[in-house]
Amino acid sequence: MPRGSGSGGLSYRDAGVDLDAAERAKKGLAALVASTRDANTLSELGSFGGLYAVPADLDAPVLVSSADGVGTKLKVAFAADRHDTVGQCLVNHCVNDILVQGARPLFFLDYLASGAMDESVVQEIVRGVATACKENGCALLGGETAQMPGFYAEGEYDLAGFVVGVVERAKLLDGSRVGAGDALVALASSGLHTNGYTLARRIVFDVMGLGAGDELPGTGRSVADELLTVHRSYLVPLTAPLSQGVVHALAHVTGGGIPGNLPRVLPEGLGARIDRSSWEVPAVFRTLQRAGRVALEEMDRVFNMGVGMIAIVELGAASELSEAVSREGVDAWVIGSVEPGAGVRYA
């Protein structure tokens, strides 16, 4: 006879879903969620829907939303049994995606699904989400923690996030101000961010035969430390330039690299020239390229190559923008220019 409830029948827990563990985890998250509240947060954790008031200081507010995941970077977290950075990566990636349209984040929601409830892991992940929400000045308004036994492998989970931000209609970035001769200012990435991990894992774990705790050659750091580095948010260093109106467009360099993302913000008839000599590609990318014998064109399409965001400004404003961003602790430099044509050309 199967072991079940006191009546002899099966319970939800027997089927693999522990409601008591879920309730304990939810209570344990209350303080983390509350720590991100602001004056416009109108609901408490546990509501069926999160409530947030549109800020009253805007004349013509436009809401901007985005959703994303962390991808197979999670596989590195599983291998390292380290779960404190992926939540930060998730928030920062989503914030950057709405930042390119000039928006600042208002609130965030997350979705975490696993085969079984590991309360300590849930705490680590959501602590990372809350940390990044506070750093980006947005409220963690709610989320969903789902137990799906039989759907995920033991010890694994999936993580997704949803952000809503706001921008004045007059300050919305849509690429329409971009013109030939504008400068491209690169903002340094903190590493791989959240893209290219399927190829990176193949190279590091299969080709190089390394483990999460081994040193990644050329970097002076362990595989886990390097590959779990938090995806950088560009909200703080770009807030002042955006408010001053000097930025014509922004491109978040994610999957597809510079060639796949920069053209998304260029008007028809315009392309870009990238000067490879303007920066040194970080060691992690050089190691991956060498060990995997990856063609340079493929590296450019898969990875950010050390450039996490590109700002497009008038040529005369490029130096000032670079200096302003650098004062906020993010390296920035002129990486190229906008020119007639289409696509991205490397020089």
CA distances from 43 to 23, 61, 77 (A): 19, 22, 32
Within a 13 Å sphere around the CA of 259, how many CA atoms are in the beta-carbon half?
Answer: 11
pLDDT at res. 30 = 84
pTM of model > 0.85? yes
- Burial class for 306, CB neighbours closer than 10 Å (0-12, 13-18, 19+): buried
Which of 322, 305, 287, 87 shows the shortest CA–CA distance to 189?
305
Q: Which residue has the tokens 């759907």?
A: 151
Collapsed DSSP state (helix, strand, coil) of residue 275: coil
Judge contact between 282 and 306, C-beta under 8 A.
yes
Give the Cβ contact number of residue 80 at 10 Å. 18
- Average pLDDT of the residues of the chain: 94
pLDDT at res. 9 = 84
Single-letter amino acid, residue 83: H
Q: Which residues contact 298 (CB under 8 A, 6 or more apart)?
A: none
Task: Parse the chain into domains and list their residue ranges.
Answer: 19-171, 183-346
Tally of residues, the chain: 347
Model confidence at 3: pLDDT above 60? no
The pLDDT tens digits of the residues spanning 92-149 come to 999 999 999 999 999 999 999 999 889 999 999 999 999 999 999 999 999 999 999 9
More confident site: 88 or 21? 88
Radius of gyration of the chain (CA): 22
pLDDT at res. 342 = 95
User: How big is the CA angle at 192 (ends 89 and 202), to the nearest 5 degrees?
Assistant: 110
Helix H or strand E segment including 68: strand 61-69
> Using 50, 70 and 90 to split pLDDT, how confident is the model at 14?
confident
Average pLDDT, integer, range 232-261:
97
pLDDT at res. 232 = 98
Task: Tell me the fold of 19-171.
Answer: 60s Ribosomal Protein L30; Chain: A; (3.30.1330)
Model confidence at 7: pLDDT above 70? no
Model confidence at 4: pLDDT above 70? no
DSSP H helices in the chain: 19-34, 73-80, 86-99, 119-135, 197-201, 223-227, 235-244, 257-261, 283-292, 296-302, 318-327
> Using 50, 70 and 90 to split pLDDT, how confident is the model at 6?
low
More confident site: 35 or 289? 289
CATH of domain 183-346: 3.90.650.10
The pLDDT tens digits of the residues spanning 139-182 come to 999 999 999 999 999 999 999 999 999 999 999 999 999 999 99
Model confidence at 69: pLDDT above 90? yes
More confident site: 27 or 194? 194
